[in-house]
Structure 1
């Protein structure tokens, strides 16, 4: 039997150190629904879901059947050479599910960053304007355009510039961090006065719930105000649903919580349950603005991934996973809320469906983030058999991303481990 340590040595020799790993001492050997076993046979409850990818859990039988069925037919022919049914069928279903009544069209790609890049391309052609406004704390990928749009320098941007031009950032509305919605909207107006003519801005891009930035959701009021601002100036609204989509927030897409219709929307991660697939879904006339040949990619819309994507939609609908996401989020928030009554280090609890997080601070003070304890909780939980992810612009947020199919007993077991890990590390924040 090989060991984690042996594989770690081989990994360090073969893979560059720039590929960061949240849990470098664990090498997965197999997984089922919400559980992962490493090469030494240790079991872990998965509260990461491959960063919000396996919303249907690991090795869901419907996804396995759909993928293997397509593999038996063909694996790759390239949609731009000979098109095929799964691509068109999945596009039709996403067009019907996308928020708003305007007719939609969809293009498939391979990664979330690629979806963001193409959304920007489409917006620039449709408007004839190069400028794009994004938000601090946002994460939109590791390509050059993705990094330019991302509102966090470390670790994503250090040493990689210069980045594409005509990209601007404004503060994301996060009241817990002292940034109000009014201040965020005022920053856009100030940008128009000080840095860029709004007639030069083609799009405003944001995540409806920031992912890497710390799981901060926007409000319905903010989204309506942003939609109105875009309409006043002829700017397209792009909503990045890469991490928030496919029932994670209790709706198929998080944008549905806010009562607005975006012009373009990016999707990826859980769209195909683990197979590489991404999409740009947008208003049909905007999507059709690009000339033939201007969009595409060799692997975009893999037939195997599209077949899996159709199965994902079937399972979400059949098993009412949007409602189950709400139930999971409520259960997590209730348990952590009880813990917060005795732990002043839990400064904030955020949950939109099953996209939930806690923010750890010192002595209940939002101005004193506690990244040291946050790291300690993640490490303690791992030692006890629970895989968590750390995030946030200040490094002090723990995000919870269990599969929406997680068994109730395993969810409760995970929350027990979280409680024990918080209790084990509580003196760190007090001492600080």
Structure 2
């Protein structure tokens, strides 16, 4: 049985994935921990017997060289070792040998965080260079670059985003899985959700922002330590609790989906939230937060024909905003609902969201999609079910 020292950024699910063990076997081997707790850097964990093979990296080992040695794609090595993605392939480091035949890049068997997303963006670009383009649209409060991904080159421009709200981070994994499946289907000439992928991408240019709120996602998944630049403020805004699983806001306690100049003052009055906190504080002014400002500038630059914002939960599709929406919005919402089984809802009493602002600003269709049912964060065990719904919805959204 191995002993492992917890590192910054680790969670118990990520550690279990790294060593290829069942999370409950990890908990059983370490009775002092419990599911739902944050892993503390420096703690020593016992790693039980595991089916996964490990390799102590040797000089010259890289994902490409190991791909040739083991006959397993380089991207599978990266996907199974996300902590090593950013230049961590050093001699003496322990890497997990991916199972033979592992084809995928996006791995949703543990919390899907910013490092995973950035590593997967790079891996997807490397595997599908002819079908996928990456750019950066801005930075978060803590300086994390916000990537955007383009797939396809059709005249119709569709934008989809995820993780406006921190504890809805499963939407990032869902959107990244869709990007991988779509790019793979384009490369192979195959289908996605029963639709010819190349035809979809010939008609529609798809622009994705897979994680709008990376600082908040990190806070929800990893908690806060004394070296965090907002340590004291975050504890105060969270009423002294060190649990951040209900946190929706960015790292300054601002709800990014209440930040847009679409009757923002009315939303402030409705929320009646005095200051920063886990949710519902619209901020000191519209677009005060760099993440929201980046999203608005991105939409202004590309003038999308339609937008979809992935949230959780409720299995509903919100399609209207104060009668600013065009006539086709309701028809498209009905199509999306039939494709995935969600209920289109004409919503009232909500302002200042991204889709609200987009509809008011451009008079074009905008949709907020509430994925799944349950309590946020939604359980990863149901990821395959959620993904099937999202794949059908997004493939339908790409059709004219």
TM over 0.5: no
TM-score category of the 2 structures, normalised to the smaller one? under 0.3
